[in-house]
Structure 1
């Protein structure tokens, strides 16, 4: 698969996610185009079927992840018993899929996002915190690689969204490092501090991170 094309980039991303995310049974990428959402790459046709159910009812984790502010992370550990996504949860469970994790591409930009990386598990509670962390990293990589590929035909994407994604990722990393050093906590714990502050203040995680970096002497 040609890694210089959009589809080539996305195939490499879903294959990597299937290989490195422990709880991943099925992986797909949702992509937003002028005609709506579609699935250009997946590791199993069932993943596309699950995505398409969500597109049809305009509800579900992969749809939600393209709309959310902040990280654009949507998670459900038991689709059969959840009423969060309407008809999607029971439909997914009937197809043998019980957990889902979706992360928006360009996770720190303003919505709507250009798509989402979707991880499905056949097990109840089949995806844990490690899976979420790895998926966030993969989504950030996918966003950057996809932007670089699409920049050949979209100077606006190259000029605005790519810079924003890279800058946000860098400042979040700096903020995590400050918390880890000053408070003696792990990377996951530092990220949780930032995420909790973002949710409590209703401010984008990247903005919380930037504030921390700007006031590092006061932490």
Structure 2
């Protein structure tokens, strides 16, 4: 439920509950879904929400709460203008009360209004100097977000960014462990097959990786699959 009583204690208790919910999610996708759901539940005026995630230098929408989020986000990506794009590039927060009167984005503003979106809040999601993307909140109402809502949303976005980067690190660690185990299994297969030691088996995997222009764990996985199917 959105915080409306204005008390710091109430806000702190709400944020603590949100933080525990986000940290309990098991993976990146689940964390993103939890962030978006909590944003709609917690931030006053938010009817729709989504995350614009930066991956490999590109921005794309993940975990949208509705189809209109994907539509409005894609307009910004295609036009290369809009509060979401600027939140990521300029490291700022943007609040819009009425896109009909919005002059900062002359092409995107009217397009958003044509799709029934009039108010927006866009927060940069970041930890230290690393930008993860942006959290975008939309409403069909004019002036749905005020200054207090924007400030509360800042705290929410900070918790969301911490939860997201934590989930990403856990996912990377899980992949690293899985890759290590696959490589170890592949080394064992080569040692048994060719009667060689672990160092020589590892060199064979590296040479095969370079020759095939594949990552080491991919070559190892292919060898393990081949052994399993044989």
Q: TM-score range by the shorter chain?
A: 0.5 to 0.7
| Unaligned segments of structure 2, at least 5 residues | 1-23, 174-230
**Partners in 2 of 1:133 and 1:92 — Cα distance?**
24
Matched, 1:95 2:115: yes
1:60 touches 1:88 (CA, 8 Å); kept in 2? yes
Counterpart-to-counterpart distance in 2, 1:101 and 1:22 = 11
Could you tell me how far apart the structure 1 residues matched to 2:76 and 2:123 are? 15
TM-score, normalising length: structure 2: 0.61
Cα pair distance change 1:126/1:86, threshold 3 Å: same
Please say if 1:27 is aligned against 2:49: yes
Asked if 1:9 corresponds to 2:14, the answer is no
Pick one of 92, 95, 100 that aligns with 1:75: 95
Equivalent residue in structure 1 for 2:79, among 57, 67, 70: 57
**Is the alpha carbon distance of 1:147 and 1:68 closer, same or farther for their aligned partners in structure 2, counting shifts above 3 Å?**
same
The answer to whether the 8 A contact 2:125-2:157 is kept is yes
- 4+ long deviations beyond 2 Å: 108-111, 152-155
> Contact conserved, 1:14 with 1:28, CA < 8 A, in 2?
yes
Is the 2:32–2:62 Cα contact (8 Å) retained in structure 1?
Answer: yes
The residue number in structure 2 matching 1:44 is: 66
Distance apart, 1:121 and its partner CA: 1.2
Where in structure 2 are the equivalents of 1:122-201 lying within 5 Å?
Answer: 122-152=140-170
CA distance in 1, matches of 2:27, 2:60: 17
Q: Distance in 1 between matches of 2:149 and 2:33?
A: 19
> Which structure features the higher share of helix residues?
2
Residues 116-164 of structure 1: per-residue CA shift (max 9 Å, x gap):
1101111111111222122111211111011111113558xxxxxxxxx
Structure 2 CA distance, aligned partners of 1:85 and 1:154? 37
TM-score by length of 1: 0.64
Could you tell me whether the CA contact under 8 Å between 1:13 and 1:138 is conserved in 2? no
Task: Please list every run of 5 or more consecutive structure 1 residues that lacks an aligned counterpart in the other structure.
Answer: 156-219
Match of 1:195? Answer: none
- Among 104, 108, 114, the alignment partner of 1:84 is 104
**Higher radius of gyration, 1 or 2:** 2
Contact 1:102–1:119 (CA under 8 A) maintained in structure 2? yes
Does the CA contact (< 8 Å) of 2:27 and 2:171 recur in 1? no
